[in-house]
Chain A
Amino acid sequence: MENAWIIPLFPLLSFLFLIFFGKRLKDASAYIGILLSLASFVYSLLVLFERFTSPTHKAESVWLTIGDVQLTAGFEVNQLNALMLVIVSLVSFLVHTYSKGYMHGDERIHVYYAYLGLFTFAMLGLVLSPNLLQTYIFWELVGLGSFLLIGFYFYKDEAKRAAKKAFIMTRIGDVGLLIGMILLFWQAGSFEYDEIFAAVEAGAISSTMITLTAILIFIGAMGKSGQFPLHTWLPDAMEGPTPVSALIHAATMVAAGVYLVASLFPLFTASETALMTVAIVGAFTAIFAASIGLVQKDIKRVLAFSTVSQLGYMMLALGSAGYVAGVFHLMTHAFFKALLFLAAGSVIHAVHTQDIEKMGGLWKKLRVTGPLFLIGTLAISGVPLFSGFFSKDEILIAAWAHGNTVLFWLAVVAAFFTAFYMFRLFFMVFAGESRTDMKHVKESPSVMTIPMVVLAVLAVVAGYVNTPWFGTFLGDWLTDGNPALGHGHIEGPAWIMIVATIVSLLGIFLAWLIYSKRSLARDWLGASTLYNVLYNKYYIDELYEVTILKVTKGISVLLRFIETFLVEGIVKGVAGAVSGLGHVGSKFQNGQIQRYGTVAFIGVAILIVVFTVTGGYLK
């Protein structure tokens, strides 16, 4: 554990090595990336096991002295860090391996692996940071890595735009983080997590200041974690290679926002208003993104909105004082969402399209990907016995126990949506017959399927580390010795679990009726004239279509409207105003030297007049 700082250095080494020698290595560069990421995974695992038995380790040294202020740099291994290290390095290792197959034949594969290394380095560094300043530095590096990876296919215009959008949108959040961080420093006199918490506990910071800084920091987290209204970059970011989406936009970078809130949890719990803000933003994002997910046609965009929605869940959990629930869902989500993205990548790899309208009937053709995708879908839908079931249940209980009844029901509805759109996706891709002429659909090579199998196993079993039935190991361990984080397990009424189960099964059933059943019926209809016999079945479908679907579609159209006109409108308005100002400014700069002199002269005149008037010298 004393040597945990080595962990991020492996991927950094991979980055440096590939940047300088990658061109000569070509395909061999994949092996370097894979080996080094494996090394950091193994090391992380060792650290995690060691952390089970020994206390938190922290090492620091002075990094920067300004006046009499000393800033330190170092690393810390506490429960949360140790867990995150394993999640990040595992997913990174699996994505490295998977990419070997997915990116096969790309002539810039060495650049791709170099960027992956940079990103992994930054993410692991972020996780190990013991203070806000260091966190911020890696936070930005993570953003840079993501910028490079999203824009990897730079010859596509969308990719370029998406990369820029992702960087700038998250930067807007980061400004909040920076201000919050500086305010905290100003108030607590330190960037260290421990010292900030101590200052908060001792009452050295006024409660309004705590609320303000917590919310500012949360704005930073919103940017990275794609919370409303800073979420718009995440769906666009799907322009990057699919394994990148699995790594960055499912398991690691987007979870960084949740991680930030979790690691500053004592600050948030000190302010009820801040917690409430987190919870409301989270719950709203959860249902907002889920409803948009209902109508998307691009396989990756469905998953992207689903990610936004699930991150909203995690925020809701944290905002409801459910520290364990939030971190638990962060972990299970990392596994099943990475699985879903990789499986989606495998589908795209096979059929070369992302449009689900053009897919269908792939179950028989992709005998490995199909079941794996199903496992992921079951897990995210919260079907009992899968990991997502337990973590989602924890979140619902936390929301209920915290007294957020409205938010609780929003989350339940969002869970219904989730089950519905995920199975819609599943049925449209895998069930029925192919809707377009697809030949040569081949299953992906084992270098791609094996990582998925690993994730699928985890997507099933990861939930059992924290269940109401077999014990709450994870929760007890996470909160051990740290009463500020709340209880390891929050007791909730048993009916919540039943409601959650019913809701998810209902969603699946509905999706089956509409997307699987109907396509069956349609095919059958084409071959037969017994139209009337089946009319009633259609009638049910139509009914669903008219009632539930219309309403949800209505909501999602409304929310889309808010999204395109309100959110993007404000963003565009601000950007337009700034650029308009720039236009006026550059027009004003007309090359006439008289004007330049006049401006200087007027400047002096104004200053002197103001000075004279305010100084009372005119009297």
Chain B
Amino acid sequence: MDLETLLSFKWGIMTPEFIILGAITLLSLLDLFMPKTVNRKLLGWLGLAGILGALVSLVTLIGNGPESILFDTFRLDSFAIAFKLLLLIGAALVFLIATSYETKEGLDEYRGEFYYLFLAALLGAMMMSSSGDLITLFIGLELLSISSYILVGIRKKNRQSNESAMKYVINGGISTSFTLFGMSYVYGLTGTTNLLDMARHVVMLTDSQHIYLLGLAFFMIFIGLSFKLATAPFHMWAPDVYQGAATPVTAFLSVVSKTAGFILIVRILMVIFYNIPSEGLGTMPLLLKLQDYLAFLAAATMIIGNVIALRQKNIKRLFAYSSIAQAGYLLVVVTSMSAFLFDTLWFYLGAYLFMNLGAFAIIQLVTQKAGSEDISEFAGLYRKAPFLAIAMAVFILSLAGIPGTAGFIGKLNIFMGALVTEPSHYVLVSIMIATTVVSYFYYFGVMVQMFFRPAVEQVKFKLPAGLGVVIGICLFATILFGVAPNIALDFLQTNFNQFSDFFQ
């Protein structure tokens, strides 16, 4: 590659990534050369500025047709823009949560790393959503994963944190090997790593043995990636890791990392496996034949997440199982593959982002204050801090899918999507409804603590500005998209042209 080709690329479409990369570089250099006495929180605000800058530049890119550079390895289509928006908003909120994070052991030595590792993980997630090639996809995935491993273990002097990091690394390793193994089959059968080229290849497949191999590859890739989603059967790491990690990291894993996982899975499934004919030219796509397996995994995930959550006493573990359950609902979207798959997925991920990050902001505040993560620390919150309790109630109601909140609209979309497709997935919907009912028990357990239990001691809460902003934004968005969801859906309709450029 000579300089001329290098310069001929439309680098403009990568601006958001460049801004993040620049921020990472700047932050790590500053962290290295700044005197020890300077408060590293400054770096947090700089990082936040970087994310916001990337967000702005991404917004200006809205409406750009599908373009790709670097020999089609990096592509910017409406799918990538829409989901990167979620990633950046999520990361910005996580950053705000992180700036108010304190530990008993003291985090000051690593606070700088803490911030730029977040940015590195975010960069990985963004690359994943924009990649048009298995190689970049995998690199993005690994960048996200490795940064997350370190983030989980950032509290180096805390045993739980170390244990979590260890578990996370090992499980991550297993999952990666699954994914790579599956990918190697696809590569072997098509001779290319470019996603769209692969699609063009597999359409022509007629040999049923090859299709069978691709079926195997599908399972390998899907199971491997289900590690990122924390869905069955690769969900078991989540409670242990969520519990041990620092709260902002947990929030990051449960929202940003999960969103990235869904972006990746949808891209691979829809581009490659949707184009594989199940029995030779022009027949039903292999992916539709495999729907039942996906449905089974979705059902198992919803049941496991919701049922085991009933027994949890630790709030972060509870939210770990809750996030497994939520991932199960999202898998229902993927399984049903309705005409508005992207819209539904995008909306639910957005709603989930706000309600879950809002809840985590409050969890961090309460657990940090109490020094314990037991659910009973929420007792009497309503009397101690009515605003916090009401905000938490809204987030929980939204997670439970009670009308008037964004979570309800998201669930409604999922139901409709699963029912309007042919054949309709009413069994899956029934399981989803039944497990949702189960979820009320543990969600309302938290509500009962906050509203109906007396507080052990009366302490005033001082709400740090960062957390206040996060809670305010999340509260506003959760209610706004619950009452007027069309704002978000119209935005999607007018700006992304129904994601029609996905296959171009």
Q: Which residues in A have some Cβ–Cβ distance to B below 8 Å? A: 19, 62-67, 69, 133, 136-141, 144, 148, 151, 154-155, 159-160, 163-164, 167-168, 171-172, 175, 178-179, 182, 185-186, 578-579, 581-583, 585-586, 589, 591, 593, 595-597, 599-604, 607-608, 610-612, 615, 617
B274 within 8 A of A: no
Q: Do A154 and B452 touch (CB < 8 A)?
A: yes
Q: Report chain A residues within 8 Å CB of B32.
A: none
A585 with B486: in contact, given A593-B167, A596-B236, A607-B219 (CB under 8 Å)?
A: no
| Contact (Cβ within 8 A) A593 B170 | yes
Q: Once the chains bind, are B490 and A65 in contact (CB under 8 Å)? A: yes
From 297 to 336 in chain B, residues with beta carbon under 8 angstroms from any chain A beta carbon are 304, 307-312
Interface presence of B223 (CB below 8 A): yes
Interchain residue pairs A-B with the least CB separation, the first 4:
A603-B233, A154-B452, A137-B403, A585-B308
Contact partner of B433 (CB less than 8 A), chosen from A67, A175, A578, A585, is A175
Q: Does B232 contact A (CB under 8 A)?
A: yes
- Extra contacts, 13 of them, besides A141-B403, A182-B419, A578-B310 (Cβ < 8 A), are A63-B485, A66-B340, A67-B340, A136-B403, A139-B403, A159-B452, A179-B433, A582-B308, A595-B236, A604-B223, A607-B219, A607-B293, A615-B212
Contact B307 A578 (CB under 8 A): yes
A123 to chain B, nearest CB (A): 15
Chain A nearest CB, measured from B168 CB (Å): 10
Asked if residues B308 and A186 are in contact (CB atoms below 8 Å), the reply is no
Q: Taking the complex as formed, is B343 at the interface, i.e. its CB lies under 8 A from any CB of chain A?
A: yes
Q: Is B444 a contact partner of A167 (Cβ separation < 8 A)? A: yes
Given contacts A66-B343, A608-B219, contact A186 B404 (CB under 8 A): no
Contact call B489/A65, Cβ cutoff below 8 A: yes
Contact of A603 among B223, B397, B454 (CB under 8 A): B223
Whether the pair A67, B419 counts as a contact (CB closer than 8 A) is no
| Prevailing SS type, chain A contact patch | helix
**From A67, A133, A140, A600, contact of B223 by CB (8 A):** A600
Distance from B306 Cβ to chain A, minimum over Cβ atoms (Å)? 9
Q: For chain B residues 174-211, which have a beta carbon within 8 Å of chain A?
A: 174-175, 178
Q: Is B473 among interface residues, defined by CB-CB distance under 8 A?
A: no
Asked if B448 lies at the interface with its beta carbon under 8 angstroms from chain A, I say yes
Given contacts A599-B236, A604-B178, contact A615 B215 (CB under 8 A): yes
Q: Does B29 contact A (CB under 8 A)?
A: no
Q: Which residues of chain A have C-beta atoms less than 8 A from B170's C-beta? A: 593, 597
CB pair A155–B454 under 8 Å, yes or no, is yes
Bound form: Cα–Cα A596–B163 in Å: 14
Name the B residues within 8 Å of A617 (CB-CB): 212
Whole-angstrom CA separation of A596 from B386 in the bound complex: 40
Known: A182-B415, A603-B233. A596 touches B167 (CB 8 A): yes
Closest to A69 in B: B416
- B311 with A611: CB separation less than 8 A: no
A440–chain B nearest beta-carbon distance, Å: 31
Once bound together, how far apart are the Cα atoms of A586 and B324, in whole Å?
14
**Known pairs A604-B219, A608-B219; A62 contacts B486 (CB<8 A):** yes
Tell whether, in the assembled complex, residue B309 and residue A582 are in contact, meaning their CB atoms are under 8 Å apart. yes
B242 at interface by CB-CB < 8 Å = no
B216 near A: Cβ within 8 Å? yes
CA distance A369 to B485 in the complex (A): 50
Q: List 12 A-B contacts (CB under 8 A).
A: A63-B486, A66-B413, A179-B430, A186-B419, A186-B420, A578-B438, A589-B239, A596-B167, A600-B171, A604-B219, A604-B233, A607-B293
By a CB distance below 8 angstroms, the chain A residues around B420 are: 67, 69, 186
Task: Count chain A CB atoms within 10 A of each CB in B236, B339, B485 and give the residue with the most.
Answer: B236
B156 CB to nearest chain A CB (Å): 20
A contact residues around B438 at 8 Å (CB): 578
Describe B's contact surface by its main secondary structure: helix
Question: Which residues does chain B contribute within 8 Å of A141, judged by CB atoms?
Answer: 403-404
- The interface residues of chain B lying within 8 Å CB-to-CB of A168 are 440-441, 444
CB proximity to A under 8 Å, residues B412-458:
412-413, 415-417, 419-420, 424, 429-430, 433-434, 437-438, 440-441, 444, 448, 451-454
Within 8 A of A (CB), among B338-383: 338-340, 343-344
Is the Cβ of B489 less than 8 Å from the Cβ of A604? no
A585–B304 touching, CB < 8 Å: yes
Q: Does B402 contact A (CB under 8 A)?
A: yes
Is the Cβ of B433 less than 8 Å from the Cβ of A596?
no
A residues within 8 A CB of B403? 136-141
Interchain Cβ contacts within 8 Å, total number? 155
For residue A607, which residue of chain B has the nearest CB?
Answer: B219
B404 touches A148 (CB 8 A): no
B347 to chain A, nearest CB (A): 9
| B167:A600 contact, CB within 8 angstroms | no
Q: Are B174 and A64 in contact (CB under 8 A)?
A: no
Task: Find out whether the CB atom of A66 lies under 8 angstroms from the CB atom of B437.
Answer: no
Q: Are A140 and B234 in contact (CB under 8 A)?
A: no
Q: Is B493 an interface residue (CB 8 A)?
A: yes
Within the complex, the shortest CB–CB distance from A153 to chain B, in Å, comes to 9
| B126 contacts chain A at the CB level, 8 A cutoff | no
> A611 near B419 (CB under 8 angstroms)?
no
Q: Is the CB of B311 within 8 A of A583?
A: yes
* A185–B434 CA distance with the chains assembled, in angstroms: 20
B351–chain A nearest beta-carbon distance, Å? 13
Cross-chain contact A607 with B223 (CB below 8 angstroms): yes
**CB of A404, distance to nearest CB on chain B (Å):** 33
- Return the chain A residue nearest B433 by Cβ: A175
- A64 contacts which of B344, B386, B417, B486 (Cβ < 8 Å)? B486
Across the interface, B171 reaches (CB within 8 A) one of A137, A586, A596, namely A596
B residues within 8 A CB of A66? 340, 343-344, 413, 416-417, 489
Q: What residues on A are CB-neighbors of B440 within 8 Å? A: 167-168, 171
Q: Is the CB of A593 within 8 A of B171?
A: yes
Contact A175 B311 (CB under 8 A): no
In the complex, chain B residues 264-284 whose Cβ is within 8 Å of any chain A Cβ: none
Q: Is B240 an interface residue (CB 8 A)?
A: yes
CB of B395, distance to nearest CB on chain A (Å): 14
Is B409 part of the binding interface, using a Cβ–Cβ cutoff of 8 Å? yes
Chain A residues near B234: list those with CB within 8 A: 600, 603
Q: Shortest CB–CB separation between residue A226 and chain B, in angstroms?
A: 19
Residues of chain B with a CB closer than 8 A to A65's CB: 486, 489-490, 493
By CB atoms of chain B within 10 A, which of A137, A138, A579, A599 has the most? Answer: A137
Q: Are B424 and A600 in contact (CB-based, < 8 A)?
A: no
Contact B233 A585 (CB under 8 A): no
- Bound-state Cα–Cα, A440 to B477, Å: 55
Which of B233, B408, B430 has a CB less than 8 Å from the CB of A602?
B233
What chain A residues lie within 8 Å of B502 (beta carbons)?
none
A601 partner residues in chain B, CB cutoff 8 A: 174
Residue pair A603, B178 in contact (C-beta under 8 Å)? no
Partner of A175, one of B174, B237, B344, B437: B437
Known: A164-B448, A589-B236. A600 touches B339 (CB 8 A): no
CA distance A65 to B494 in the complex (A): 12
A467 to chain B, nearest CB (A): 40
Query: Chain A residues near B237 (CB, 8 Å)?
Result: 593, 596
A144 to B178, CA, bound (A): 46
In the complex, the chain A residue whose C-beta lies closest to that of B233 is A603
Q: Which residues of B contact A167 (CB under 8 A)?
A: 440, 444
Residues on B with beta carbons closer than 8 Å to the beta carbon of A591: 240
Q: How far is the CA of A182 from the CA of B412 in the complex (A)?
A: 9
- Complex: A466 Cα to B464 Cα, angstroms: 63
Looking across the interface, which residue of chain A has its beta carbon closest to that of B393? A144
In the complex, chain A residues whose CB is within 8 Å of the CB of B338: 67
- Residue B256 lies at the interface, judged by CB distance under 8 Å to chain A: no
Instruction: Report if A600-B212 is in contact (Cβ < 8 Å); known contacts: A141-B404, A578-B438.
Output: no
- Name the distance in Å between A368's Cβ and chain B's nearest Cβ: 35
* Most-contacted residue by chain A among B175, B239, B390, B441 (CB, 10 A): B441
Bound CA–CA A139/B408 (angstroms): 13
Chain A residues with CB under 8 Å of B397's CB are: 144
CA gap between A402 and B178 in the complex, in Å: 67
Which residue of the partner chain, among A160, A182, A585, A611, contacts B452 with CB atoms under 8 Å? A160
Inter-subunit contact B232/A603 (CB<8 Å): yes
Residues of chain A contacted by B309 (CB below 8 angstroms): 582
